[in-house]
Amino acid sequence: MQERPHGAARVRPRPYVVWLIGAGALATVVGVVWVLIAFESAQQATTFSGPIPTLPVFTYAQYSQRDIVPDYTGLFSASSSRATARLSSSRAPSWRSHGGGRREAVILDGMAPHDSTARILAVCRVAQLRPDSGNVGVTAIDKQPVEPRLKVRTLGLYGDVQADRKHHGGVGKALYAYADEAADFWEAELGRAIPPGLFGENLRTVGVDVDGAEIGERWRIGDELVVEVTCPRTPCATFQRRMREPQWVRRFTEAGRVGAYLAVVHTGTVGAGDAVEVVRRPGHGVTIASWFSGADADQAEALLAAEADGRLELYREMTESIAKVRGRAA
């Protein structure tokens, strides 16, 4: 080994070399994280055939001013198939009675008591954001069925998005369910097909009394997903433009077949063919249909009493609605 001459200066690495080494290490870490995220997304990717749907071009200013967050993972749709029902035995609900006629909800075993074939017919998420003449400028009502199982988180389906976040989405409106039996009614009424997703629903059900569900009722979907019925859907002008039917909002309202919004109690996955079980019913008697068509002070008090007893949690949409009803009755 050659010895350093006496008095010679020690060679130190230059600062920019240290910075380059540090930047390279950081880039490696970021790259690994990115690969893991990409792998996660690939597991949820939807197979599709045919041309890729075109996303309308909007400026960053439009998105930032209107609080629209486009999610490109939801732009690919796949054709749906009516899955075979998963059947199992059902048991009727049971109740514990209390003084004064009050009933307490208890956990139910088995499938939904109204139909042992209760299941998810189709799972739908946004196909593409479409231009709309409303205040937001775009709409995410264009939901279409997808075939792979999707994760369901607190704010809804993986890859789904809402354009108008003031009136749609959020914890209390994470999912929107609509019954295929109600769609059959509209097919006969309108003389046209009502395929899953046309009404903007995330879940098209079969054998589930969606409009007859009590507010606060809980459903187990598949093996692990648990959702809670929170409030009825209120038809809007965007829905009118979507359907292009004369006086659509009025007709949809008068029919009372509005479907239900759902909150996610326990996250999981969902796919077509999943069984739907009613696992809890609060027992206050206020249903999606009864509240939508005839909300009054008595129903409002029943809901508040049920919340006070711990039989359900009223989400913001319902507390605001109850406050309006009580204000009118005062």
Tens-digit pLDDT profile for residues 272-285 = 999 999 999 999 99
Strands (DSSP E) contained in 38-101 are 96-97
**What local confidence, expressed as pLDDT, does residue 241 receive?**
92
Q: What whole-number distance in Å separates Cα of residue 299 and Cα of residue 305?
A: 10
The 3-state DSSP class for residue 256 equals coil
**Average pLDDT in the 249-267 region?**
97
Confidence at 104, pLDDT banded by 50, 70, 90: very low
Give residue 87's pLDDT.
26
Contact 104, 283 (CB under 8 A): yes
pLDDT digits (tens, 9 = 90+) for 149-179: 999 999 999 888 764 555 566 899 999 999 9
User: Burial of 241 by CB count in 10 Å (0-12 exposed, 13-18 middle, 19+ buried)?
Assistant: middle
Residue 163 makes CB contacts below 8 A (sequence gap 6+) with 66, 68, 129, 132, 136, 138, 139, 140
pTM: 0.67
Alpha-carbon distance of 312 to 292, in angstroms, equals: 18
Mean pLDDT, residues 80-108: 34
What pLDDT, on the 0 to 100 scale, is given for residue 191? 97
pLDDT tens per residue, range 26-64: 766 656 555 555 544 444 433 333 333 333 333 323 322
Phi/psi for 247 (5° steps) reads 50, 40
Instruction: Note the residue count of the chain.
Output: 330
Torsions phi, psi for 141 (to 5 deg): -70, -15
| 260 membership: H or E segment, kind and range | strand 260-266
pLDDT for position 36: 54
Angstrom CA distances, 143 to 20, 29, 128, 130, 202, stand at 48, 37, 8, 11, 7
Transcribe 263-297 into DSSP letters. Answer: EEEE-EEE-TT-BEEEEE---S--BHHHHHHH--H
- 216 vs 287: CA distance, rounded Å: 9
Residue 255 has pLDDT above 60, yes or no: yes
Structure tokens at 11: 């060679």
Q: Rounded to whole angstroms, what are the CA distances from 306 to 214, 277, 281, 316?
A: 11, 21, 11, 16
Alpha carbon dihedral 294, 219, 201, 251, in 10-degree steps, equals: -20
In sequence order, what are the residues at sequence separation of 6 or more whose Cβ sits closer than 8 angstroms to the Cβ of residue 104?
A: 95, 96, 97, 98, 283, 309, 311
Residues pairing with 206 in the sheet: 119
Is 60 exceeded by the pLDDT of residue 11?
A: no
Q: What is the DSSP letter of 74?
A: G
Q: Which H helix or E strand runs over 261?
A: strand 260-266
